[in-house]
Amino acid sequence: MATSTPTPRSRAIGLLIIAAITVGVAVGAYRHAHSRIFKSYSVGFSTPGTRVWVSGAYLDGKIGVLGGSLLGKWGEMSKENILFGKPMPHEIYVNWEEAETKRRYEATVQLSPGLPERARELPGYTFVRTHEKRPGGIYLIIGFAPKGAVTVWLSNAPSAAFRKGRVLDVVGKAEGRLTDKVAPFYPPPQSQG
């Protein structure tokens, strides 16, 4: 059986095909690593021991998350909403009422531009009771302080309870403005003021 020797032209074509496949794989890996889409992450709320009623919370004006009545601890998540296959938001719109003052606020919080990359790099933590190392999750925690201040944190755990190595980084802040508007849960509002 005779074997044929590849011509310079067929070698060049073969090398171009291999190069194209390599570049395609590299671009795909880069896009995945820098994508805003996540397998899952959680969004929840926090208060510094004051009761609030969250009537509307929307990620990028499209994805509504449940709020309702909240009373919690600052920086600790309550009312966890787990989102699957959703993008990490650029902004979060919230509409809430402080129970004690009966003042209603709304705010749009712009989030840090590098948020998806920071979320992918969150470390694990150690469960204190068992000294077990656990992988961290991805948590966006929206905190409502008195007089309309809003803080959004990125964390690797919903709370610091029994955890060593919890991350709690501020990724957005805003001052709410007084409003009479009560935002519906669904559909998201067309104009966020």
> What pLDDT score was predicted for residue 157?
95
CB neighbourhood size of 83 (10 A): 19
Residue 188 has pLDDT above 70, yes or no: no
Say which amino acid occupies 133. K
Average pLDDT value for the chain: 87
Condensed to tens digits (0 to 9), the pLDDT of residues 103-132 reads: 999 999 999 999 999 999 999 999 899 999
Say which amino acid occupies 65. V
- Give me the residue label for tokens 């909403």: 81
Residue 91 has pLDDT above 60, yes or no: yes
Say which amino acid occupies 77. M
* Percent of the chain surpassing pLDDT 70: 85
CB neighbourhood size of 61 (10 A): 18
CA distance 118 to 127: 22
* Percent of the chain surpassing pLDDT 90: 66
Q: Average pLDDT of 34-54?
A: 90
Interior angle at CA 28, CA 116 and CA 31, nearest 5: 20
Condensed to tens digits (0 to 9), the pLDDT of residues 1-20 reads: 556 677 878 777 777 777 66
**3-state SS assignment for residue 30:** helix
Q: What CA–CA distances, in Å, run from 88 to 27, 94, 155, 191?
A: 20, 16, 14, 21
Condensed to tens digits (0 to 9), the pLDDT of residues 133-178 reads: 999 999 999 999 999 999 999 999 999 999 999 999 999 999 999 9
Are 58 and 91 spatial neighbours (Cβ–Cβ below 8 Å)? Answer: no
